[in-house]
Structure 1
Amino acid sequence: MFDDRTDAGERLAAELDRRGVDADLVLGIPRGALPVARPVADALDADLDVVVASKIGAPGNPELAIGAAASDGAVWRNEGLIDRIGVPQDHIEREREVEVEAARTKLERYRGTSELPEIEGKHVVVVDDGVATGATARACLRQVREKDPASLTLAVPISSPDSAADLRAEADEVIALETPATFRAVGQFYRQFGQVSDEESMTYLDR
C-alpha cells in the first residue's frame, strides 16, 4: 500500500537505483504519473518529460479500455477484448479519431509542440502510476520504441500480473514493485489517489 503518488515514486526510485537502471530521460504519462516520475528522474539524474496516449473506451463503459491512441496517430487495439464483447467497428473508428486528437492536444499543452522529446540513442524509462489493462502504457511504449532509444524500461509501482507480463513484449525491462493476485484497480493500492489536474501535473516537469 502506497501513501500517495509521491511515496510510490520515492519507493520506485529506490528500486530502480538499487537495480542500477541507467536513464537519460524519464517520461511520465500525464496526468497521474508525473508525481511518481519526479522522484524517479531525480534519483536517476535524468531529464523528466512526457509521452501521451489516450485510452479508447468500450461502448457504454468508457473506463474499460479496448485500446489506446497515441499522440502520433498510432493505435493499439485489444482484439481479444473487442471480439469478446462485440465492439462495433464504427465505434472504434469514431473513438480512435477523438482519442488521437485528445492525445495530440495534451502533448501540445504539456510540451508546446506535437513532437516528443529527443529519444534516439537515449536510455529511456517510461513511468506510470499503475497499470490495469495496460492499453495506455502499451501505446506509449510503442511510440517511444519507434524513436529508437538505446534502451526502454517501463517502471510502475503497481500492476495487474497479466498486464505486467504482456508488457514485457513492448519494453526491454518491466519493473513493477507489486503485481498482486488480488489486483482489481490501481487506486486500491493507494491511501490517497485523487485526480491530478494538468496544472498540478505540469509543475513536476523540467521547464
Structure 2
Amino acid sequence: MKLPLENRTEAGRALAELLSREPTGDVVVLALPRGGVPVGWEIAKALNDPLDILLVRKLGVPGQPELAAGAIASGGIRVLNQDLIDALGITQAQLERTAAHEQAELERRERVYRGDRPRPPVTGRRIILVDDGVATGATIRAGIAALRQQHPESIVLAVPVAPPDTLARLEAEADQVVCLATPTPFRAIGQWYQDFHQVTDEEVTELLESSRREDRP
C-alpha cells in the first residue's frame, strides 16, 4: 500500500477490499471513535454489514497525554502498560485520576453517539474491530478484552497502519489481523496520512445515523 494514505476514506476502502475476501456470516463492524468511525463506515458499506461503535479511552501519561499508560473500555475493562508505568514512576493516585477523567469522557460519548439505543449483541458473532491506526496498541487491547467477555465467534482487527512490533503483539490477541502497512520508524499514526484531521462528534453521529438508514441486517 502506497503511503501516505490520502485520508481515512481511502484507508477504509482498501481494508474493505482485503476483508471482502474473507468468510462472511453474522458480522458486525465495531469502530473506535472518533477516528475509527470513518474507516469503519467504508468497511461496513462495502461489506453490507451493520456498523456500531466500541468505546475505549486511552490512559495518557501525566504530562504526555499522547503516550498511553493503558486504556479503559465499556464494561469496566482496564488494560495497563505496567512496564511503562513502572519506568516512569507513575503513581496509583495519578493513574486513578486519569482513569476517572477518561471514564467520564467514555460515558459522555456513549450518551452522545448511542443515545438510548442498546449496544449491539456480540455473542456468537464475527466482529470486525476497526481503528484508523495503532501505535502502542493499548486502546485496541482494551477493546479486544472487552469483546472477549461477550464471547464473540471471532475478532478480526482491521487497521490501516501499525508498527511491526505492536502488530505482532495484537496478532496474539485477535483471531485475525488485517493491516495495510507496517512502516518503520513509526513515530505517529498521523504521519502516514495526507489528511488526518480531528474527527468531530458530529461526524461520528452523522456516519452512524447514515449507516442505520441503510438498514443493513
RMSD: 1.6
Aligned match of 1:177: 180
Q: 1:133 aligns with which of 129, 132, 136?
A: 136
Aligned match of 2:14: 11
| 8 Å CA contact retained: 1:55, 1:67 | yes
In 2, the alpha carbon distance for the partners of 1:101 and 1:167 equals 27
Are residues 15 and 130 of structure 1, via their aligned partners in 2, closer, same or farther at CA, if it must alter by over 3 Å?
Answer: same
Aligned match of 1:117: 120
| 8 Å CA contact retained: 1:71, 1:101 | no
TM-score between the two structures when normalised by the length of structure 1? 0.94
Aligned match of 2:52: 49
In 1, the alpha carbon distance for the partners of 2:137 and 2:111 equals 23
In 2, the alpha carbon distance for the partners of 1:165 and 1:107 equals 30
In 2, the alpha carbon distance for the partners of 1:165 and 1:21 equals 25
Q: For residue 37 of structure 1, what is the amino acid of its counterpart? A: G
**Structure 2: tracts of 5 or more residues without a match:** 213-217
Aligned match of 2:91: 88
Q: For residue 191 of structure 1, what is the amino acid of its counterpart? A: Q
**How many pairs align?**
207
Q: For residue 7 of structure 1, what is the amino acid of its counterpart? A: E
| TM-superposed deviation, 1:146 | 0.9
Q: For residue 152 of structure 1, what is the amino acid of its counterpart? A: I
| TM-superposed deviation, 1:5 | 0.4
In 1, the alpha carbon distance for the partners of 2:6 and 2:23 equals 25
TM-score between the two structures when normalised by the length of structure 2? 0.90
Aligned match of 2:38: 35
In 1, the alpha carbon distance for the partners of 2:163 and 2:116 equals 33
